Amino acid sequence: MSADSTSFSPSASAPAFRLAGSGFAYGDRVVLAPFSLDLTAGETVAILGASGCGKSTLLRLIAGLLLGQPSSLAGQVAWMAQQDLLLPWLTLFDNVLLGARLRGEVPDIARTQALLARLGLADRANAMPASLSGGMRQRAALARTLMEDRPLVLMDEPFSALDAITRAAMQELASEVLSHRAVLLVTHDPAEACRLADRIFVLSGAPAVLQQVAVLPPAAPRDPLSPPVLPVLRNVQAALQKAVNA
Amino acid sequence: MTNLLRPVLTACGLLLLWQGIVWGFDLPSYILPAPYRVALAFVDNAGLLLREATVTVIEMLLGLLFGCLLGAAAAICLLLSPTARRWLLPLLVASQAVPVFALAPLLVLWLGFGIASKVMMAVLVIFFPVAVALYDGLRRTETGWLDLARVMTADAPQHRLRILQHIRLMAALPAFASGLKIAAAVAPIGAVIGEWVGASAGLGFRMLQANARVQTDLMFAALILLAVCAVTLYVGVDAMTRRWLRWQADSHPSLLSPVKE
């Protein structure tokens, strides 16, 4: 395995991230071409692609999970995956505090309570994860992500295991609570990308190349079927289809 | 109600069967004493038997304690150190090829007729299942949890021990509990074999003595008391591990939980 680590450069105006790397290979098989992606605070960028196209590899590379050495973004990143990854032996409250506990910090009880209340979990703080619905568990995972208070949030298909109604509610909630952060969202769902992202990229090819396919009008969350968004959704779907067929 | 009645009925049935065999085959009491003779032997020797049982129980508990500590330490060493994996793992596996019971005379030679050789014997049979179970559990931590922990701690080495403590060890508890239950089941075997080879006290020692003097009723009384101690130990360990693992939803009833109709 070989790759350059991603780099991070705060700019003078808005805090920004330049996520760049020279690609990634498993042995001789190059799966990811060199890439460069700028993100400003408050911006959500979605990366679309067919399953197995390298989306997760890209995200894991940026998170520093692939190289066996800390990435230069270490300490700047919060991670939210498709599974809620709640520890079954801890209450929701303690799950939200996991990061502080692992770093040996003094837990901020008041902030944890405030976050749980904000996500509508105040009365379930002492519940064990197994006793909660999938939607509630994913909300707790979102609370844990926010508790980390990092400027860049990496999300790997965080809502794809939820049913349609819960997913829509979660997307709305996530869009609201993450509005001041830079968010990199990996998804396979063009409608989700149009609902949440300010810019949309498609990742495809071997080795996989990142290509911007759409810029959306401001103010997420959007209804992907509303008149200004619908043509963008069609374009994105067409671009994704083309990428898959190529 | 039925949950309490069922074991009592089973015990009565077994006693009747036992008595039936004694009557039916007209067995002399030095071959198979009738249940009431065993009960009499128990009452007549209650003080003696309880003293011997105390010794055996202490041997089992100490063996369990040290065996588990040693097994857990070995598992954590194996997880943390590739050097330990290269050197210790083959040794561990090879050590199980030596029948532990064949070592009993040596242990008595080295550690004497007292309690130490029996505890050591129990440690030897307990150590392996605990080490293997915990090591397997530690290796199989859900990778998503570890990824999350790595991002949260920015992969800093000073936080690795806390990841081990809060995630890997906790996630390995169910596997450790399985190892512990096997350990609780084999602990009496270790203690009794140790006593058979050379001892001056303990239920195993008393059984051998009674057997040599054709006090078969006393031997049966000691045997039944040993079984009671072993079952109590297992039930206690099972209850303890279930307290730890309350967060874990059972998809199947445990060996000891009452069967629901």
Residue B8's CB is within 10 A of a number of other CB atoms, namely: 9
Counting the structural domains of chain B, the total is: 1
- Cβ-based contacts of A92 with chain B (< 8 Å): none
B254 assigned to some structural domain = no
Q: Are A31 and A54 in contact (CB under 8 A)?
A: yes
**Domain-located, residue B84:** yes
Q: How confident is the prediction for chain B on average, in pLDDT? A: 90
Nearest residue of chain A to residue B161 (CA atoms): A102
Does any domain span residue B65?
yes
Tokens of A80: 């939210």
What is the interface pTM, i.e. ipTM, of the complex?
0.87
Distance from the Cα of A224 to chain B's closest Cα (Å) equals 31
Which stretches does DSSP call E strand in A23-96? 24-26, 29-32, 35-40, 44-48, 77-80
Rounded to whole angstroms, what are the CA distances from B55 to A3, A14, A105, B108, B109? Answer: 64, 75, 47, 16, 20
H/E element, A63: helix A55-63
* pLDDT at A5 (0 to 100): 42
- DSSP assignment of chain B equals -HHHHHHHHHHHHHHHHHHHHHHHTT--TTTS--HHHHHHHHHHTHHHHHHHHHHHHHHHHHHHHHHHHHHHHHHHHHHH-HHHHHHHHHHHHHHTTS-GGGGHHHHHHHH-SSHHHHHHHHHHHHHHHHHHHHHHHHHT--HHHHHHHHHHTTT-GGGHHHHIIIIIHHHHHHHHHHHHHHHHHHHHHHHHHHHHHS-SSSHHHHHHHHHHTT-HHHHHHHHHHHHHHHHHHHHHHHHHHHHHTTTSPPSS--SSSPPP-
- What domain range is B61 assigned to? 46-248
Residue A232 Cα, gap to closest chain B Cα (Å): 34
- CA dist A196 and A165 (Å) reads 16
Task: Please state, in angstroms and rounded to a whole number, the distance separating the CA atoms of residues A189 and B111.
Answer: 70
Q: Do B119 and B126 form a contact (C-beta atoms < 8 A)?
A: no
User: Is position B10 within any domain?
Assistant: no
**CA A59 – CA A66 distance, rounded (Å):** 10
Torsion B46-B48-B49-B52 (CA) sign: positive
Of the candidates A43, A44, A66, the one whose C-alpha atom is nearest the C-alpha of residue A54 is A66
What is the reported pLDDT for A67?
Answer: 74
| Interface contact B154-A78, CB threshold 8 A | no
* Residue A42 per-residue DSSP state: T
Please report the pLDDT score of residue A36 as a whole number.
87
The candidate with the shortest Cα–Cα distance to A59, out of A35, A75, A40, is A35
Residue B211: closest CA among B31, B61, B4, B13: B31
pLDDT at position A73, please?
A: 80
Q: List residues of B whose CB lies inside 8 A of any A CB.
A: 142, 144-145, 147-156, 159, 162-163, 166-167, 170-171, 173, 247-249
Classify residue B189: in a domain, yes or no.
yes
What Å distances lie between residue B251 and A89, A197, B107, CA to CA?
16, 41, 43
Residue B237 lies in a domain: yes
State which residues of chain A have pLDDT below 70: 1-15, 68-70
Q: At what angle do helices A134-147 and A164-177 cross, to 10 degrees?
A: 10
- Best of B152, B163, B167 to disrupt the A interface by mutation (most A CBs within 10 Å)? B152
Quick one: pLDDT at residue B199? Answer: 87
DSSP state, A44?
E
pLDDT attached to residue A7: 45
The nearest alpha carbon in chain A to B250 belongs to A130
pLDDT (tens digit per residue) in A25-70: 888 888 888 888 888 888 999 999 887 788 888 888 888 888 766 6
- How many angstroms separate the CA atoms of A60 and B150, rounded? 11
CA–CA distance, A61 with B198 (Å, rounded to integer): 63
- Tokens 């009557």 found at: B23
Nearest C-alpha neighbor of B185 from the set B133, B111, B137, B112 = B133
> Which amino acid does the sequence have at A160?
S
Q: Do B151 and A63 touch (CB under 8 A)?
A: yes
Contacting residues for B83 by C-beta, under 8 A, at least 6 apart: none
Find, in chain B, the residue whose alpha carbon is nearest to that of A153. B151
What is the β-pairing status of strands A209-215 and A199-204? antiparallel
Q: Is residue B17 part of a domain?
A: no
Would you say residue B26 lies in a domain? no
Q: What is the pLDDT of residue A211?
A: 87
CATH of the domain at B188: 1.10.3720.10
Q: Using alpha carbons only, what angle is made at residue A126 by residues A121 and A127, rounded to the nearest 5 degrees? A: 80
CA distance to B27, B204, B207, B223, per residue, from B213 (Å): 18, 14, 10, 16
Please name the amino acid found at residue A235. Answer: N
Residue pointed to by tokens 């929701």: A92
Q: What is the pLDDT along chain B (261 residues), one digit of tens a residue?
A: 567 888 899 999 999 999 999 999 988 989 999 999 999 999 999 999 999 999 999 999 999 999 999 999 999 999 999 998 999 888 888 888 888 788 888 988 999 888 999 999 999 999 999 999 999 999 999 999 999 999 999 888 888 899 999 999 999 999 999 999 999 999 999 999 999 988 889 999 999 999 999 999 999 999 999 999 999 999 999 999 988 888 886 666 666 665 544
Nearest CA in chain B to A71: B154
**A101: nearest CB among B150, B166, B173:** B166
